[in-house]
Structure 1
Amino acid sequence: MTGAPATPWALPRVVVAAPASGHGKTTVATGLLAALRRRGLAVSPHKVGPDYIDPGYHALAAGRPGRNLDPWLVGPERIAPLLRHAASAPTPADIAVIEGVMGLHDGAVGRRGFASTAHVARLVGAPVLLVLDTTAQGRSAAALVLGMRAFDPGVRTGGVILNRVGSPRHESLLRDALAEVGVPVLGAISRVAEVAAPSRHLGLVPVAERAPEAIAMVDALAALVESAVDLDGVFDLARSAPPLTTPEWDPAVAVGGPAGAVRPVVAVAAGPAFTFGYAETSELLAAAGAVVVPFDPLRDPALPTGTRAIVIGGGFPELHVEALAANTGLRADLAAFDGPVVAECAGLLYLGRELDGVPMCGRLALTARMTGRLTVGYRDAVAAADSPVHTEGEPVRGHEFHRTVTDPGHGDRPAWRWTGAEHGFVSGPVHASYLHTHWAGRPQVARRLVEAAG
């Protein structure tokens, strides 16, 4: 999993958390990343959990890839090594900012906080900066912070940022109350100053779909944080984290080196319709010997020259369905491609016959449609059939996040089985399902794909 024994690294780092969703974590985390970068610091951006959209804004703010830290998907033993890897590339970071998920102690259901923000904070030894929506709260805000801090003594809440403060008098009342419980206030953002990003059925609109507006929003968040947050205090809090002593995660070590002498082209779907992916996927493929070439199904008329394998991740094909359908040349390429293909969620829909009545690639015998029901959650799955990348019976942990259904719900050779049901499709060399996985947790998938492509 890792390379040579590590020397300790005193990487300043802080976790931006909240008592619950909707308190303003993304606003503060993105603004902090951008504001610290304006100061000339190299900032490493991270997101707890399987979220794909927030890291896009983080990347825009920090100028380097946004990375996810999810103990469920990759295993708790890889969290600190992955943090160290991300903070080292392309150059060593001066500070890492880690945005939490949901409430501070909310994780996998029924797992006593496993994969929660608090869990990740413990794994990386980082202090917590708690963002608190103070709407309709006065002195009780201090009791809430005190309870959050006391619930898990292994997590150190080192400061609070007050969000949606109603007035100077309101701010003064809150600061006095928090001083009573000994938690520093490192910023106060008024309700009128709030900056909002447009959202839709699965969260924020991805950066790739609204680049000019996203740039303007990140600039506004940087200015907001510069005016309302004690950046020196935040940096001092981050510097209080103990040195990282775990070795850096190394994709070459994880995959065991190149799979062979041939360097096959592996095409990876990208562009506005396919924005869901982890940076480690391409790193692992490259370490296994692949030449990784991105392609945009909205615009590229054909697969990259020499393509021997394809990865199609998640995204929002339902919002680009007409443009995807209009790219008939690429659809024909994908329908005829006889090499290994790994498709997750949006990739599954794109490979089907049609989506909401609009023709797709026809590589898989299924139709798909939007529904009003959100399917979301972590999954303990088992591979239900042999494929180029999985062996029947192998366990894997993944995540579902979609509002579509397919007909049929699975093929004669399903991809996965969990909770007694079958899911997804294995059709020849194609492995496709709704399940999102993180290949850092199962790096052999990258090696197997490259071997199958070679």
Structure 2
Amino acid sequence: MVAVPRLVIAAPASGSGKTTVATGLMAALRSRGHRVSPHKVGPDYIDPGYHALATGRPGRNLDPWLTGEELIVPLFLHGSRGADVAVVEGVMGLYDGVGGEDFASTAHVARLLDAPVVLVVDAAKQSRSVAALVHGFASFDTRVRLGGVILNRIGSERHERICRSALEESGITVFGAIPRTDDVVTPSRHLGLVPVAERGGAAVGAVDRMADLIAKSCDIEGLVGLAGSAPQLYGEAWDPPQAVPVTRPVVAVAGGSAFTFGYTEQAELLHAAGADVAVFDPLREESLPTGTAAIVVGGGFPEVYAAELSANEPLRKQVAAFDGPIAAECAGLLYLGRELDGHPMCGRLDLTARMTPRLTLGYRDAVAVSSSLLTREGERFRGHEFHRTAADPACGSPPVFRWRGGADGFGDPLLTASYLHLHWAGTPEAATRLVQATR
């Protein structure tokens, strides 16, 4: 049994201000001396970067679809080791799950963690009606404990008084009222917020402004008290399965501004499987890390940096000639192709890719229809897609994965490259197979 003080920051809908409140609260708590464990519900790579900046600890995802609900508590306990409070940012609206169901919703994760929920409500175009809205969310599923509300985009002192009075009449605790402001704005583009790795000092300033806004507008001690009301959790912390290697191969993992999409547990699994992880930046480094025995190229924004990636010809040629194991997801798939938006890429795969106006987004329940570096024919994998690009050809022959209405991936015994993002904690054999293939 473990008692980790914790709370979930949720909202009625996307765009209500969850990320600002969650990140600002994490940073405000840290500034007061708390050791804060940051978490994000769902398959999000960008928000955890801001969480990590706010707390000084790795941002971690909690996604029942990708890892199985049985791993949510163990992964939470793993991430919150050594912390005295945990803040979990939700996804979409509180009750929005897979396929219009409850599964993998913020409410689902809150129940698994037995954590109180704070609802961030955009009050910009309402007043007393916020009480009716919150009452509906509180009563919709009584298994979810709504601990209170933070009002966002409050227009005036009178507006705040009306909203607070209506909520307090309904027995709902108000933990804060955030005024409308243009000072805390995080730039966005085609796949959401601009990642921390691309913003440098501007990201630090943005997090500082979030912390200041939340510290001035919210009852921090009240929120800490609410987190402390969470009961004990039953379970053991997750640990990556340990191997005892004779030698430790170097796995080169792409990073930098172009490749920012990756889950924290991936590197932990690779290390536990017997590898040394070396991060390299394909925008700036002209050669792979010394002794590279395998390459992992995850997701990100190669389309934004296509010209710069193409200009690094020495590294492109080295990757093309590399004869060891390569695992690539989404952005990595495009980088391995011949061309992206007219810019030459590595040419390891005979495909061309281009940006499109269409967003491809969603969970995928995939079956491996061929064996490859990370897959064995007939195995099931749960992943997600998140991109605005199209590849030609769309997949190998045969593809690596099939799901209802789709096929994806290029593979051979030393390669798995696809649009499918996997959370390796849910498929730990991926790390084991990659490391074993180096031998």
Classify the TM-score, shorter chain: over 0.9
SS in 1 for 2:435: helix
- What residue in structure 2 maps to residue 186 of structure 1? 175
Is 1:450 aligned with 2:428?
Answer: no
Match of 2:104 in 1: 115
**Given that residues 193 and 224 in structure 1 are in contact (C-alpha distance below 8 angstroms), is that contact kept between their aligned partners in structure 2?**
no
2: CA distance between counterparts of 1:31 and 1:23? 14
Residues 259 and 447, structure 1, Cα contact 8 Å, conserved in 2: no
The aligned residue for residue 70 of structure 1 is 63
Give the TM-score normalised by structure 1: 0.95
Determine if the alignment matches structure 1 residue 410 to structure 2 residue 395: yes
Instruction: Give the structure 1 partner of residue 5 of structure 2.
Output: 12
The answer (yes or no) to whether the contact 2:373–2:412 under 8 Å persists in 1 is no
AA in 2 matched with 1:223: D
Look up the match of 1:339.
324
Pick from 36, 44, 48 the counterpart of residue 41 of structure 2: 48
Greater Cα offset, 260-269 or 43-52: 260-269
Farther-moved stretch of structure 1 (422-431 vs 22-31)? 422-431
Offset from partner CA, 1:113-137 (integer Å, 9 cap, x none): 1000000000111100100000111
Deviates more, 1:380-389 or 1:22-31: 380-389
Q: CA deviation at 1:261?
A: 1.5
Matched, 1:304 2:294: no
* 1:247 match: 236
The residue that corresponds to 1:86 in the other structure is 79
Deviations 1:345-380 (A, max 9, x none): 000000000000100000000000000000000000
Contact between 2:373 and 2:411, CA under 8 Å: does it hold in 1? no
Encode CA deviations 1:275-298: one digit per residue, 9 max, x unaligned. 000010000010010111111111
**1:320 aligns with one of 287, 301, 305:** 305
- The CA deviation string for residues 131-160 of structure 1, in whole angstroms up to 9 with x for no partner, is 000011111100110100111111101010
For residue 428 of structure 1, report the CA deviation from its aligned partner.
Answer: 5.0
Question: What is the CA distance between 1:413 and its match in structure 2?
Answer: 2.8
CA displacement at 1:99 relative to structure 2: 0.3
Q: How many residues align?
A: 439
2:350 to 362, 365, 371: 365
Moved over 6 A (4+): none
Q: How do 1:101-250 residues align onto structure 2 when only pairs under 5 Å count?
A: 101-110=91-100, 112-192=101-181, 195-250=184-239
The question of whether the paired residues in 2 share the 8 Å contact of 1:259 and 1:451 is answered with: no
Q: Distance in 2 between matches of 1:263 and 1:413?
A: 33
Which residue identity does 1:362 align to in structure 2?
Answer: G
5+ residue gaps in structure 1? 1-7
Amino acid at match of 1:316: F
Q: After TM superposition, give the deviation of residue 259 of structure 1 in Å.
A: 6.0
Cα deviation for residue 420 of structure 1 reads 4.5
1:37 alignment counterpart? 30
Task: Decide which moves more: 386-395 or 358-367.
Answer: 386-395
2:183–2:209: 8 Å Cα contact kept in structure 1?
no
Which SS does the other structure have where 1:176 is aligned?
helix
Conserved in 1, the CA contact under 8 Å of 2:371 and 2:412?
A: no
**TM-score when scaled to structure 2?**
0.99
> What is the RMSD computed on CA atoms of the aligned residues?
1.0
Please say if 1:57 is aligned against 2:50.
yes
Shift of 1:180: 1.5
